[in-house]
Amino acid sequence: MTQTEYKIHVDKIYENIERARLNLNAHHIVKLVAVSKYSDVKAITKLYDIGQRAYGENKVQDLLVKTETLDELPLEWHFIGNLQKNKINNLIKANPSLFQSLDSLALALELDKRLKTNDMNMDALLQINSANEASKSGVSAPEAKDIYTQISEQCSNINLKGVMSIGAHSDDTKEITRSFELTRSIYDELEGASICSMGMSGDYERAIECGSNMLRLGSTLFPKD
């Protein structure tokens, strides 16, 4: 794909987002995070040239390498992957603008401790396993509100901003919608929450319909050919 063809491709995605957003509510703003986990620095630079500023990685090591390599560009980095406790120090070193995948109280307590040691704060989202799938991380929907409150009260160096969820892995669109609506209903109950991160390449328009205000798009933004 030439850069011109690529721009046309990306513009189509922007138009899809815009259409879904306006269908919901003209005042509903949707932020796009480009998931660059399978993409190299060259591909990120091509998307940056079209105007994309926020990127997400799911491995702490890749986040560190890419933030350092692209240090000159005014980018915003999100961490969206499963974080093992032994990688907390590297996450702190990478210092993402948003840690989207905080998935337990235990992890929050440990992260908060290390943040305090480093005299740092971090913005984060609580990940919810909204479709209750064994393969996915995240707190269960019934526990989400309680755990969110506990983290808010006990972890003063973590600023919880809302929730993140991956839609149900299913061919049944009703099931996907159900998982988004469940996440949205939890989000609506959280005091002070402003980010509801849901929607990936295959389901982002549906996610917006269900109230998502942050998309995480990987494969569609970084086509392989």
Backbone angles phi, psi at 132, to 5 degrees: 55, 50
Binder of ligand PLP out of 16, 132, 150, 219 (CB under 6 A): 219
Please report where in the chains the tokens 């919810």 appear, as a residue. Answer: 128
Chain position whose Cβ is nearest to ligand PLP: 218
∠ Cα 173 175 181 (to 5°)? 100
Site for ligand PLP in 122-181 (CB under 6 A): 166
**CA-based torsion, 180, 183, 189, 190: positive or negative:** negative
Nearest to 5 by CA among 48, 50, 38: 50
- What is the closest distance, in whole angstroms, from the C-beta atom of residue 27 to ligand PLP in the complex? 25
Binder of ligand PLP out of 133, 201, 205, 209 (CB under 6 A): 201
Nearest to 34 by CA among 83, 100, 94, 78: 78
Site map 40..59 versus ligand PLP, x via CB under 6 A:
------------------x-
When the beta carbons of 27 and 224 are compared against ligand PLP, the nearer one is 224
Specify the stretch interacting with ligand PLP by CB under 6 A; choose among 106-114, 154-162, 195-203, 205-213: 195-203
Binder of ligand PLP out of 35, 160, 196, 210 (CB under 6 A): 35
DSSP string, 192-209: T--EEE---TTTHHHHHH
Binding site for ligand PLP (CB under 6 A): 35, 37, 58, 80, 166, 200-202, 216-220
